[in-house]
Amino acid sequence: MTTSGPGSPSSSATVLTRRAARSAQNVWSGVLFGVGLVAFVDEAVFHQLLHWHHFYDRGTTELGLVSDGVFHAISWFATIAGLFLLADLRRRDALWWPRWIGGVLAGAGGFQLYDGLIQHKVMGLHQIRYVENLLAYDIAWNVSAAVLLAAGLVLIVRTSPARARAHAEAT
Q: Is residue 11 part of a domain?
A: no
Reported as half-sphere exposure (CB side, CA atoms, 13 A), residue 77 has a value of: 6
Higher-confidence position of 164 and 161: 161
For residue 46, what pLDDT is reported? 84
- Tell me, yes or no, whether 55 lies in a domain: yes
Q: What residue numbers bound the domain in which 90 lies?
A: 22-170
- Give the Cβ contact number of residue 22 at 10 Å: 21
> Using CA atoms, how far apart are residues 66 and 51, in angstroms rounded to an integer?
15
Query: Is residue 1, in this structure, part of any structural domain at all?
Result: no
Residue 51, sorted as left (phi over 0), alpha (psi -120 to 50) or beta, turns out to be left
Residue 152's closest CA among 114, 91, 109, 97?
109
- Average of pLDDT values for 84-110? 97
Please state the domain count of the chain.
1
Cα end-to-end span (Å), the chain: 27
What percent of the chain is predicted at pLDDT more than 70?
91
Residue 16 lies in a domain: no
Chain mean pLDDT for the chain = 87
As a whole number of angstroms, the distance between CA 117 and CA 119 comes to 6
Query: Taking 80 as the threshold, does the pLDDT of residue 155 lie above it?
Result: yes
Residue 13 located in a structural domain: no
Predicted confidence at residue 171, as pLDDT, reads 65
